[in-house]
Structure 1
Amino acid sequence: MNNSRGKPMFARCLGGLLLVGALIDAAQARDYRYSDAHLHYVDFFQESEGMPALLKAMDAARIDQSMISGVSVAKKWHEDEPKRPRYYAGDDADAYWYSATDVYVAAALQKLPAEQRKRFHPFLTGFNPVDKNAVTHIERMLELYPGLWQGIGEVFTRHDDLTALTSGDTPRANNEAMTRIYHLAAEQDMPVLIHSNITSKRERNPLYLAEIEEPLRNHPHTRFIWAHAGTSLEIHRHQTRMDFLLPTLTRLLEDYPNLFVDLSWSVLQPYLLDEQGVPRPQWLALVQRFPERFMLGSDVVGRYGSLGEQLHGFDPFLDALPADVAQKVARDNFLAVLPKAR
Structure 2
Amino acid sequence: MHQLQKHLLATSLALMGLASLATYSLVASAEPNSKAQKISTPKHRYSDAHLHIVDFFQEGEPLSKLITAMDKGKIDHAMISGIPLMKKWHEDEPKRPRYYAGDDAGMYWFSATDSYVAEAYRKLPKQDRERLHPFLCGFNPTDKNADKHLRQMLETYPDVWQGIGEVLTRHDDLTALTQDDTPRANNEAMYRVYRVAAEFKLPVLLHSNITSKRERNPLYVGEIEDALAAHPDVNFIWAHAGTSATLHRYQDKLDFLLPALSKLLAAHDNLYIDLSWAVLTPYLLDKNQEAADGWVALINKYPKRFMIGSDGLGSYDKIAANLDEYAPFLDALNKEAAQGVARDNFIALLPKKSVRKILASARQYTDSL
Q: Partners of 1:31 and 1:300 in 2: how far apart?
A: 20
2:104 is the counterpart of 1:96? no
The answer to whether the aligner puts 1:232 opposite 2:239 as a matched pair is no
> Is 1:118 aligned to 2:115, yes or no?
no
Measure how far apart 1:277 and its partner are. 1.4
Whole-angstrom distance in 1 between the partners of 2:337 and 2:298: 12
Shift of 1:324: 2.2
Superposed CA offset, 1:215-248 (max 9, x none): 0011100100000000000000010001100000
Q: How far off is 1:148 after superposition?
A: 1.3
> Matches of 1:247 and 1:78 in 2, distance apart?
42
Q: Which has the larger radius of gyration?
A: 1
The equivalent of 2:268 in structure 1 is 256
1:200 aligns with 2:222: no
Partner of 1:276: 288
Give a deviation string over 1:106-156, Cα, whole Å, max 9, x none: 111111000111111100000000000000000000000112100000000
2:364 is equivalent to residue 335 of structure 1: no
Q: Deviations over 1:74-107 (max 9, x none)?
A: 0000111110000000000011000000011011
Report if aligned partners of 2:47, 2:78 keep a CA contact under 8 Å in 1.
Answer: yes
For structure 2, the 5+ residue unaligned runs are 1-41, 355-369
Matched AA of 1:246: L
Q: Work out the CA distance in 2 between the residues paired with 1:338 and 1:241.
A: 32
- CA RMSD for the aligned pairs? 1.1
Displacement after TM superposition at 1:305 (Å):
1.6
Aligned to 2:62: 50
1:191 to 193, 203, 207: 203
Distance in 2 between residues matched to 1:200 and 1:121, nearest whole Å: 31
Whole-Å Cα distance in 2 between the matches of residues 192 and 199 of structure 1? 20
- Identity rate, percent: 63
- Structure 2 counterpart SS, 1:260: strand
One-letter amino acid of the structure 1 residue matched with residue 143 of structure 2: D
Aligned pair 1:288/2:280, yes or no? no
The TM-score, its normalising length taken from structure 1, stands at 0.90
Q: 2:156 aligns with which of 131, 144, 147?
A: 144
Q: 2: distance between equivalents of 1:320 and 1:268?
A: 14
The superposition leaves residues 2-35 of structure 1 with CA deviations (integer Å, 9 ceiling, x where unpaired) of xxxxxxxxxxxxxxxxxxxxxxxxxxxx941100
Aligned position for 2:366: none
* Moved beyond 6 Å, runs of 4+: none
What CA distance in whole angstroms lies between the structure 2 residues aligned with 1:134 and 1:60? 37
Task: Give 2:229's aligned residue.
Answer: 217
Aligned-partner residue type, residue 261 of structure 2: L
Residue 37 of structure 1: aligned partner: 49
Measured in 1, the distance between the counterparts of 2:174 and 2:237 equals 20
Report the equivalent of 2:146: 134
Structure 1 residues 42-74: Cα deviation after superposition (integer angstroms, max 9, x where no partner): 000000011122111111111010000000000
What is the distance in 1 between the residues matched to 2:282 and 2:352? 34
In 1, the alpha carbon distance for the partners of 2:143 and 2:163 equals 19
CA drift of 1:321 comes to: 1.1
Amino acid at match of 2:126: A
How far apart in 2 are the matches of 1:128 and 1:325?
A: 35
The answer to whether 1:87 aligns with 2:93 is no
Match of 2:193 in 1: 181
Asked if residue 170 in structure 1 is aligned to residue 182 in structure 2, the reply is yes
**CA deviation after TM superposition for structure 1 residue 204, in Å:** 0.2
Q: Distance in 1 between matches of 2:60 and 2:47?
A: 20
Q: Secondary structure in 2 aligned to 1:174?
A: coil
Gaps of at least 5 residues in structure 1 are 1-29
Question: Is residue 242 of structure 1 aligned with residue 254 of structure 2?
Answer: yes
| 2:312 counterpart SS class | coil
Distance, in Å, in 2 between the alignment partners of 1:56 and 1:208 is 40
Matched residue SS, 2:79: strand
In 2: Cα distance, 1:306 partner to 1:80 partner: 33
Deviation at 1:340, TM superposition (A): 2.1
Asked whether the equivalents of residues 43 and 324 of structure 2 are also in contact (C-alpha less than 8 Å), the reply is: no
Contact 2:303-2:336 within 8 A present in 1 as well: no
How far apart are the structure 2 equivalents of 1:330 and 1:140?
Answer: 33
**2:314 counterpart SS class:** coil
* Alpha-carbon distance in structure 2 between the residues aligned to 1:219 and 1:147: 25
User: 1:157 corresponds to which residue?
Assistant: 169
TM, length-normalised to structure 2 = 0.84
Distance in 2 of aligned mates of 1:75 and 1:199? 24
Partner of 2:321: 309
